[in-house]
Structure 1
Amino acid sequence: MSTPTKKHAGNKWAKPALVAGAIVVGLLVLVLAARWFTGLDGVKSWMGSYPGQSELPATAPVGFPAWLGWQHFLNMFFIVLIIRSGWQVRTSKRPPAHWIRNNKGLIKTRNAPTKISLDLWFHLTLDALWVLNGLIFIIVIFATGQWLRIVPTTWDVFPNAISAGLQYLSLNWPTENGWVNYNSLQLLTYFITVFIAAPLAIITGIRMSGAWPKNARALNKFYPIEAARRVHFPVMIYFVLFIIVHVTLVLATGALRNLNHMYGSSDAVNWWGFGIFALSLLVTAGAWFAAQPLFLRPIASLTGKVTK
């Protein structure tokens, strides 16, 4: 009886191993191709004209204020828990509990309360906090001029982004000085994340939530829930990939200095930013493991009725 079991176990890991091997081989081919391509005289000359970084307007601020570090932590905290709870909503077959909104007091509506899973309640609550944090972020970056660091203001950002991408791919990474200016590929990535991916997550999430008017036939026909579902999950995958690449590059391109930028509001190279980052990871990990029905039920019961 042991032989079939071992054979089955081997088959179970065969496909993931082949996929991983194919990805590694593909990356090696891309790196070799990029190194050959960037070694061509014409490409060298072109990359000399577009080194990978656009010049910022003279009014662009330098450095990162303390409030931006808090915003970064809160955004990380909420998005990690949103991804966790969203995955639970998508994969859970038997929710641990259900939540029904109290249809009285300040949250009184004409529609009858809808029963949703406790996982979905947690996901929607985190969404609301994340959106609130994002609105504060948008208001403050435009009030302080920080938007100039993540919004393209010249057309040469695109060839510079291609140049930076070729440098990353060829393993001759572009010179980093995020305290003053991001390279153009970073700038475009942050712009897409803040001004495209985040709004897409919000408008598709609202369409899938119980807050959406079910009887608005014309609106529902124009924006069907199936369309929202087709977009919402890929956007979550984008955020997961963004986090993986973002954290990898932060740690691989001068971890202490980068973490001081993000958490210590300083351009110095010391362990202060790393310590705050480590503490933020502990807080996030604690919230991850504390997000269990045992702790969520009493919190959810403050705004509704929780049933098993």
Structure 2
Amino acid sequence: MPPAAPSAPAASAAAATGAGAAVAAASASAAQKPSGTSKQTPSKSSAPAKKEPKKFGPLSVGQWIGAVVALAVVAVVLVWAARAYLGSAGGEEFLAKYPGHAPMPDSAPIGTPVWLSWSHFFNVFLMVLIVRTGWTVRTERRPAAYWSPKWNPKRKISLTLWLHQALDLLWVINGIIFFILLFATGQWMKIVPTSWEVFPNAVSSGLQYLSLDWPTENGWVHYNALQQIAYFLTVFVAAPLAIISGVRMSGMWPAKNSTLNKIYPAPLARKIHFPTMVYFIVFLCIHVFLVVATGLLRNLNNMFAARGDVDPEVWAHNWLGFILFVIAMLVTAAGWYFARAIFVAPIARGFGSVTNR
């Protein structure tokens, strides 16, 4: 059965309503259209965003490959240039005048004392753990535990930072003993430049390294000029910078002293401390590489066994230093493993309280 027709008043109201709706719709449509056009132009769909390549550190894989290739090309060019210069008449004359040796006083001692070998081991052991804990402090978001000193329970630092600062203190103590014995035994003359000729000789050593015809100095007797400058900068510049910047960021700094804080602000200390750590890492990598490349057994005997001779061939085939080096590396690896909260917390509790929050 068809529906009943609406009454007249209802129909009139519906018609009026429909007409009003039509006028409103037409007005809205006209407002949306640009003037003078009868058809609506469809909008263009936006192009999908290009996916960023995955980065490893600051660079992507392609950028890392490009950087490595660029460095390889630069290295090849430098090697070619060094060999070309040293093979020329001017290069041979320069090499004859400055062979690369570090000038030293006649009273400079010969040999490596036992205390220096022990200091060298402790320095390597502590530096590896300091770099490990320092990097962890810089990158960890939620520390596994916190430490508060007995004399100031309100102060709280991460357990990793406590270990880092404890290792720093041991490293400083080792350095103080090293400095005292260095000057008491005259060993300072092997690493402190005493003549301006060290600089042209350092250039000579650098050119020899670049040419891949490396200077093979007998470290038992003396270092080449470039080594001497590197050791001097490490011992007398980088180490003090690491100490004074580390103290500024530690709990030993008088934080309430506004005058000292203005003279030496914490942001400045942080800008010094991290690049200094990077320097130590680079120095250590180059140092280890050259130890291996310029006579592994002889160098390890000098450094770890305190054994050597003016004739570099005497200890060039003895394995004692290598065995001691392996033991030292195993001890260092054990220290790396045990530098964890579960093992560090019992030691830290002897100097304060350890909590999870």
> TM-score when scaled to structure 2?
0.80
Equivalent of 1:285 in 333, 342, 351: 333
1:33 is matched with 81
Deviations 1:166-185 (A, max 9, x none): 10011111132111010000
1:74 is matched with 122
Shift of 1:8: 5.4
Secondary structure of residue in 1 paired with 2:141: coil
Shift of 1:44: 1.7
2:197 is matched with 156
Shift of 1:208: 0.9
Shift of 1:113: 4.6
Higher RCO (C-alpha 8 Å, min separation 6): 1
Determine whether 1:256 maps to 2:297. yes
Deviations 1:216-257 (A, max 9, x none): 212211111111111110000000000000000000000000
Deviations 1:51-89 (A, max 9, x none): 001332111110101111100000000000000000000
Q: Is the 8 A contact 1:54 1:183 kept in 2?
A: yes
Q: Is the 8 A contact 2:117 2:303 kept in 1?
A: yes
C-alpha distance in 2 between matches for 1:92 and 1:224: 24
Q: Is the 8 A contact 1:179 1:261 kept in 2?
A: yes
1:62 is matched with 110
Aligned residues: 297
C-alpha distance in 1 between matches for 2:155 and 2:65: 44
RMSD: 1.8
Q: Is the 8 A contact 1:99 1:117 kept in 2?
A: yes
Deviations 1:115-158 (A, max 9, x none): 00011000000000000000000000100000110001111011
1:106 is matched with none
Mean Cα deviation higher: 16-25 or 209-218: 16-25
C-alpha distance in 2 between matches for 1:227 and 1:256: 43
Alignment of 1:72-221 (within 5 A): 72-103=120-151, 113-221=154-262
Secondary structure of residue in 1 paired with 2:298: helix
> Please, which runs of 5 or more residues in structure 2 have no aligned partner?
1-49, 309-314
Shift of 1:42: 1.4
> Please, which runs of 5 or more residues in structure 1 have no aligned partner?
104-110
Give 1 or 2: higher helix fraction: 1
Shift of 1:112: 6.3
Mean Cα deviation higher: 114-123 or 9-18: 9-18
Q: Is the 8 A contact 1:102 1:113 kept in 2?
A: no
2:93 is matched with 45
